[in-house]
Chains A and B, each alone.
Chain A
């Protein structure tokens, strides 16, 4: 198949060499595409997409337990080695009883979660009942699957409470969809899994579970440079979601590992108070 190069031919008159006309200097070259010097053009395209693909620099986690679903995330946005924001909302409220977490491209996650919220509302209006978590995650997975290979970067968890009880699904930009009880997504996820897996029990109270979630996020932010900021923890119960806490991880560090005050200083302070 011969490549169609008619788009490269131009009807614009070529300007002669050595022309010093300032006004025409801006368009002195004939507009044309530069083809990359490679024999494997398709492979080159894939490489280019992979290069600009933002790595999922974040830590998010969610798990199902006796009292519902616990969802937690950090709040740092990074561009390579630069921290662009410490206060990103990575837990997205799709509707009053469903939450989505954000990992990957911020714009992609925000847009597609909003879009999912619209589709869920339309389902409610058309069918006169709430959509299930399974249905909502399938809608999102199908949407993302139809865009596969086009450079979307979304690693999200859909957590909610429907007629069948608590539900948790992991959905990513390749169109993969997994049903499970515990997930963590992002560059800090292996660290979070380490704390989450060892401390997890199905029979936990809401306080124990939120402490486990907070601790897991904290430990992930400690080790992973692309995670940090504020550890937010949400709980999804039978009546919908509720934000439980949002603690700065720097403060959490000193809360978990306080620096013992030196005795010499203590003595001096007492003397001064007298």
Chain B
């Protein structure tokens, strides 16, 4: 099952997601990037049904861009998270989206933040969060070792601890993970953790 988790450190936020695209017992793809760049300083890590995940996050991304075009200034992370939650809530009792989202962003005024938005439109601002079967292992690991003033290196060590725990304890553990970071310099890829590499190229 899809594993997504993230945490906030000193002036940055990190999210990690597995990269496997699964249909029942078949792994169709092991380098699917599930963390989308919402804009220059926001990341959305999504897990859920394949169609819903891509369509809903792209919908949010386009609406965030539209706001920026119309108003000349980008949305704050809190505003984008509340917009996303609002869309999920509106659709909930008609045509619900099965997507769980961790939204990480950096704003100059309020620093780095992480928002937990689940498929029934729950919204929480959190220091650390996780979705999927992997959450059973990563949440306690993060609870034990997390400190609010962690540096990037310490945070990556914690993320790797969680990935190791998921790989060793989850029966259908995903082989590969992608880690992305957002800080004052923007949102970008940090690293890939691959235990199974495909014959041809890396991320598509």
A residues bordering B, Cβ < 8 Å?
64, 141-142, 144-145, 148-149, 170, 172, 174-181, 183, 189-190, 193, 200-202
Contacts and interface: CB of A to CB of B under 8 A. Distances in A.
A175 B26 CA distance: 18
B102 to A, nearest CB: 20
B29 A178 contact: yes
Nearest to A155: B23
B204 A180 contact: yes
Interface string B191-204: 00000001111001
Contact of B52 (A175, A181, A190): A175
B55 A183 contact: no
Nearest to A146: B55
Contacts of A141: 51, 54
Interface residues of B, number: 19
Given A179-B204, A181-B204, A174 B25 contact: no
Contacts of A170: 28
B50 interface: yes
B50 A202 contact: no
Contact of B54 (A177, A180, A201): A177
Nearest to B32: A178
Given A183-B28, A193-B26, 18 more contacts: A64-B200, A142-B55, A145-B51, A172-B50, A174-B52, A175-B50, A175-B55, A176-B21, A176-B50, A177-B51, A178-B21, A178-B28, A178-B29, A178-B32, A179-B204, A180-B28, A181-B201, A190-B26
B55 A145 contact: yes
Contacts of A181: 198, 200-201, 204
Contacts of B189: none
A184 to B, nearest CB: 8
Given A181-B200, A201-B199, A202-B199, A189 B26 contact: yes
Nearest to B23: A172
Contacts of B21: 176, 178
A176 B51 contact: yes
A8 B151 CA distance: 67
Contacts of A178: 21, 28-29, 32, 50
Interface in B1-51: 21, 23, 25-26, 28-29, 32, 49-51
With most chain B CB atoms within 10 A of its CB, the pick from A176, A181, A183, A189 is A176
A149 B98 CA distance: 12
B49 A174 contact: yes
A76 to B, nearest CB: 20
Contacts of A180: 28-29, 204
Contacts of B54: 141, 175-177
Nearest to A148: B51
A193 B204 CA distance: 20
B95 to A, nearest CB: 8
B204 to A, nearest CB: 5
A119 to B, nearest CB: 18
Nearest to A64: B200
B55 A190 contact: no
Contacts of A176: 21, 49-51, 54
